[in-house]
Structure 1
């Protein structure tokens, strides 16, 4: 393990609260310059697009027929326009043509034979790609076709249409949003196979969010009528203006899903509707939790005190388990407890156990505070044994908002909020039907808005995949390998399957802290039997963990934590894929409370990893109270500080391997290692800054330097910046506040390139956390009175920033113990002296 400074850590040396310098205005980055993209084969592209444009009228005709069949007026069509390396705002010209822009999303793609990179040595090998979804009727489509033909002729358009003229230059593709786009599917055959075709099953439909009540009501009425023709009905609906969401829950006969699984789309009316953005099955990605052991759990830990600061949105936990009794408070306004039978309370019990005790294999102390559970799952009536998932008639965005209101808002009759002290929400669940595919899910958008609105750190699991395709290899080949060869074969399979193992909603949330899993736990080596360790005892990413990136290639997951060792079974015929069954009751895996009696069992997956991180966050919450005693701290600053301290505590193990899977896609910034509640070593100083910054401003963060650094010995400077950003769901950039810091500056030799994650990768896309580390062995001819400065910069994005943004930053300096310098005391004393003489102090 490469972590620095942990060996001599002491609570007598807590993290040091420092002050950010005065903010000053800075110049906004300039635009223009030579473009990054060359346009090749333009005539060929125009000819290809011409065919696409010609096909649009036929697609609208299909919508005309569908609308006529339910006596609906003004049939419309949603078109997807994909453009390369453009930043054009189409809203004005679209509005003048009667076209509504209903969605935008941005990603990065490889160059191709039509759009090539202008530089031989580009800073990034990828090209920006923006998806624009627009809604047209017959009149506006005719106008669009006329303008395309005019531009194709001589590259010119009438006055007022210049933006559309420029857009056509960047256009890569245009097509109707079709049936395959609408189906956000898990394996339908596997999920619904073998059930009664007349049985009603739950589905979720997300409609394109339209700009007026009238158009939204008409769209919902049309979809409701089409569902009725398919034998279904709407059971609930929700419109959330703040995130541009319009969703329906419905029940349809299972035959509808069978027809979709067989590709018989013409037989299902609702999936053909242009009003439908997505249609998907309900579900949850939790891996099954195994049976319990026969041994009784032993509890030796003082009872908790104070109010809960950590809340789990999860299933109902076991009521009287000795590991949970008097340590869990349940807030259940929806009375989901009544739906749970004996032995079904698996997921909530396991996650509550981890939040309180961590991995029970280590037999550590219980959490100092009680943990709050707000149930949001119930046993599913459509599966056996019952899987725990969101209630059949609940839409995830709406349920999340209601759950937040239950915690933080006064009731309609004036009663106080139920849990205003909660600062951390754990969400160890995900939607297997919504893997991230460049368009932010409504669930992620809701989490982003809620976390900023209420100033809460939301910790989300990256998602789980219960099997791994090994093609062109097979399970027997993998089992016969040993040591690093087996681990590398597993990693190669994960790399080949990246596109099929993406983050599961809402893990792409930009404000949430997303947690992946490593293949590790504290269990002793239990008998394997017919089970095989895919990494053969070596450290690696968990084979069940979803991998990144996030929105606009943001670094995701943000970090990784132990998710238990997942094994696969052998002994049968060889298969091209391996499945990961529940952990054995005897392990290995993360040891947790079992749902019955006072027994224990083991579990695996990113749900457990996220719960471990949430437990650590709750400890940091109380540390912040101690460190900031006497100072006002906003809820957003507290959430940002917990986020920054968690990420500042990551590192990599020396024997970790993820290649050929990219490190940042596997474990993000690193693996959770440091616990700053244990304090600092004498050879390091860790400083916490709480700040507030506006658009086009920067603030300096100063790290005072100690004496004794003029020797050639290992030194390290690290910085972590975290914030919660307001968002604009209408804009492709989405994140309104782009914060970043620059390479440390001061009277020291140049630090050079950051180790591990590069600066460009750390701040790419729409991230809200940045972590960088610089190593050097140079001699520093400096001492007390000198300082290293890291500047924090803020620029508005996504249509502007209306208010200052709260943030937190952690900066540290570490020196090899062999130098013999008391870094902590020297830095702490200088910080105290500077704070004491600040104006107004």
Structure 2
């Protein structure tokens, strides 16, 4: 969203009025969207798969008997297309435990086709049900399947399975190939003693019974001992359905797992194991240090921090950081660092305080808090900064939030109750998002809602790009837009292998992708090649969406520095991106060594830049709402909405084969509303609270002088934090959305850019749309545009809970019309507030 040059803080955001809620009827679900075809072939394929399950259970019985485990069980994954059947009741009757459900959207195939040839979207719902069965319950399920196949009536209480079987696409065992999640083992642990014990995370299927959870942990611990390993810690978090173990295994066994030799490790064969992973942290290292003019000519920060970074320990005595950073380190991670190793935290804090140092921006007016969660890892080459080897990510997040917001057991007050924004520029490269939400993302969602905090998460980095069928020499030989388009085409071919990295799929978090830009001066690249040849573009490093249930992710993008690859040498299909050089390009940040700076690239620094702007918006929200009640969740939602409302796009990439929304979501952050508004626009902030099956109206008063054919624009953004239900495949319990604006224009037409359907698809907690209009408006003061915000409950319901939300709506007109939009709208809003009844 672009304004003209007279933006001024003397014209701040205007707080609008929200109507009282009114009841609405929930829309009917309608019939199914698919027609079943090739039924006999599908049923026969499924019959063969059911037969295979009986043999698999026999193998699990042998494994369980070897450790004297009782009642051996299997985890099955049932995938159904276009079905809305609640299996809970039937599963209970069969003695089957549903332990996880997930939902996505997929293309029709040769077994399902769309009922309507004019459907707005070709995608259909795909539901995954993970169920736990023993011998008796598997026998019952097979008996019912075969009765259905023979066309017999199913017994009373089992009839919902009739429709479920009809829509069944796949049934399979959750096996070692599903459980194993490893990073590049050779690059990460090269040169280590094969017998050395290396840390791994084991996530167990969360069982409803506490006794069953105890039994499962005992069984997996026994298997680990037989594999030569041991459990070092565990965590159970019922709020998100998480049961995790931290363990160690001999390096030689994990290397065999990395080669897919599943028979080498009995633990990975256990039906109780959901995931076994060796994790890391993919952050492209900063470049070499360089001497820069680091003279600091800025006022010292005031007041308390509202932004906290969960990151590495920063060099807090660096001249550009001194007096601006507070460190909260209850785990004493500082003691594990040398000064030279404080690279990631220093870079992120520098960006959060100063932005890109190459752009000469002023420092943040508030200090920044750092709660360290990384430490140099002895098990890795070059002691890479990672989560502590003994830590489980969900449990670490829970403890870190409690440190900030809860009184400690010894009576110590909460450390940082004013914090509203948390920056998480860290991710787990072993867990790219693929239908099932990671436990880390589920924890972030629960914590952000529980404490009313906006969590800003980096989308994740990929340090290489496969150009096949092209190669590095061919790409380097191209120039200008031809090279940029070739890079985008490679990203399009590889997008399924460059998915969001956990916890970036969090639905309440604001996920940030990276653009290929920075403020560094153009310099001789030498042996390095810019894959976009100096042009503004999507970053070739950035992970890409979609999110859960095909929601729009990332939410937005911000500068992540220009990434380069090495030229010369062997021609290859795969290019590897180099760390930023000492002189750039890249985002210029402080280096650990006092008096020196460096450059960095990637989504980590993109997220830090967005967090910096979020902290400024925090103070604007508090200023414009002074004297009005505002909850923590409304404040967090308001910051979220204002960030997304300030996005724009790439005007020169509209012909790209790469779907840009997969990399930049709603757009690129280009507008800072803390700077105020221009005269030819008005930006209104609405704060509301809404219950299920109700709607509220947001009103935008209109100025005089719009009855001319000239460019006008309406933008609207809605944001909220949703409670979640990890047991339900819909997951998000509060589904909010807004409809097309209504007012004096007969028809606003379709939204520009992202469609209304795409903007609210899946499990989104932010919706952003824009309408460009050329028509004359027969309106003047006293007329208005209204936007209706609707709320529906899902994923088991809200149980009467009200949802806090924030919305931002703006009207912009071409400056050639000569209308002082801001003053006219402001005066009308002030009049509305003055005459508003008190009860």
The TM-score bracket by the shorter chain reads: over 0.9
Q: Which moved more, 1:129-138 or 1:190-199?
A: 190-199
Match for residue 25 of structure 1? 23
Structure 2 unaligned regions, length at least 5:
none
Q: 1:752 to 1:349 in 2, by over 3 A?
A: same
Q: Quick one: which of 785, 788, 791 aligns to 2:785?
A: 788
* Partner SS state of residue 540, structure 2: coil
Match for residue 550 of structure 1? 547
Alpha-carbon deviation of 1:444?
0.3
Match for residue 106 of structure 1? 103
Find out whether 1:770 has 2:767 as its counterpart. Answer: yes
- Number of aligned residues: 838
Q: How far apart are the structure 1 equivalents of 2:173 and 2:179?
A: 11
Q: Quick one: which of 244, 249, 272 aligns to 1:247?
A: 244
C-alpha deviations, 1:127-161, integer Å up to 9, x for none?
11000000000111111111111111015211110
Find out whether 1:129 has 2:126 as its counterpart. Answer: yes
Q: How far apart are the structure 2 equivalents of 1:168 and 1:774?
A: 44
Q: Quick one: which of 460, 463, 466 aligns to 2:460?
A: 463
Find out whether 1:809 has 2:807 as its counterpart. Answer: yes
Counterparts of 1:254-293 in structure 2, within 5 Å, are 254-293=251-290
Q: How far apart are the structure 1 equivalents of 2:380 and 2:795?
A: 43
Find out whether 1:828 has 2:823 as its counterpart. Answer: no
Q: How far apart are the structure 1 equivalents of 2:314 and 2:361?
A: 21
Query: Do the aligned residues in 1 keep the contact of 2:398 with 2:443 (CA within 8 Å)?
Result: yes
> What TM-score comes out, normalization by structure 2 length?
0.99
C-alpha deviations, 1:66-109, integer Å up to 9, x for none?
01111111110000000000111111110111100000000011
Q: How far apart are the structure 1 equivalents of 2:65 and 2:162?
A: 35
Query: Do the aligned residues in 2 keep the contact of 1:206 with 1:277 (CA within 8 Å)?
Result: yes
Q: Which moved more, 1:685-694 or 1:163-172?
A: 163-172
Query: Do the aligned residues in 2 keep the contact of 1:19 with 1:701 (CA within 8 Å)?
Result: yes
Q: Quick one: which of 665, 669, 677 aligns to 2:662?
A: 665
Find out whether 1:164 has 2:164 as its counterpart. Answer: no
Query: Do the aligned residues in 1 keep the contact of 2:183 with 2:280 (CA within 8 Å)?
Result: no
Match for residue 448 of structure 1? 445
Counterparts of 1:539-688 in structure 2, within 5 Å, are 539-656=536-653, 659-688=656-685
* Partner SS state of residue 493, structure 1: helix
* Partner SS state of residue 341, structure 2: coil
Alpha-carbon deviation of 1:487?
0.5
Query: Do the aligned residues in 2 keep the contact of 1:539 with 1:656 (CA within 8 Å)?
Result: no
Counterparts of 1:175-190 in structure 2, within 5 Å, are 175-190=172-187
Find out whether 1:324 has 2:313 as its counterpart. Answer: no
* Partner SS state of residue 404, structure 1: helix
Q: CA RMSD in A?
A: 1.0
Q: How far apart are the structure 2 equivalents of 1:320 and 1:776?
A: 53
Alpha-carbon deviation of 1:294?
2.6
Query: Do the aligned residues in 1 keep the contact of 2:696 with 2:788 (CA within 8 Å)?
Result: yes
Q: How far apart are the structure 2 equivalents of 1:673 and 1:259?
A: 48
Match for residue 228 of structure 2? 231
Q: How far apart are the structure 2 equivalents of 1:22 and 1:673?
A: 34
Query: Do the aligned residues in 2 keep the contact of 1:540 with 1:658 (CA within 8 Å)?
Result: no
C-alpha deviations, 1:462-517, integer Å up to 9, x for none?
00000001111110010001111100110011111111100000000000000000
* Partner SS state of residue 810, structure 2: strand
Alpha-carbon deviation of 1:258?
1.3
Counterparts of 1:203-602 in structure 2, within 5 Å, are 203-602=200-599
Q: How far apart are the structure 1 equivalents of 2:652 and 2:608?
A: 25
C-alpha deviations, 1:213-265, integer Å up to 9, x for none?
11111111111111111111111110000000001111111011111122221
Match for residue 10 of structure 1? 8
Alpha-carbon deviation of 1:341?
1.3
Query: Do the aligned residues in 2 keep the contact of 1:189 with 1:261 (CA within 8 Å)?
Result: no
Alpha-carbon deviation of 1:598?
1.5
Q: How far apart are the structure 1 equivalents of 2:654 and 2:514?
A: 14
> What TM-score comes out, normalization by structure 1 length?
0.99
Q: How far apart are the structure 1 equivalents of 2:368 and 2:352?
A: 7
Structure 1 unaligned regions, length at least 5:
none
Q: How far apart are the structure 1 equivalents of 2:510 and 2:152?
A: 47
Alpha-carbon deviation of 1:537?
1.1
Q: How far apart are the structure 1 equivalents of 2:186 and 2:585?
A: 32
Query: Do the aligned residues in 2 keep the contact of 1:541 with 1:658 (CA within 8 Å)?
Result: no
* Partner SS state of residue 201, structure 2: strand
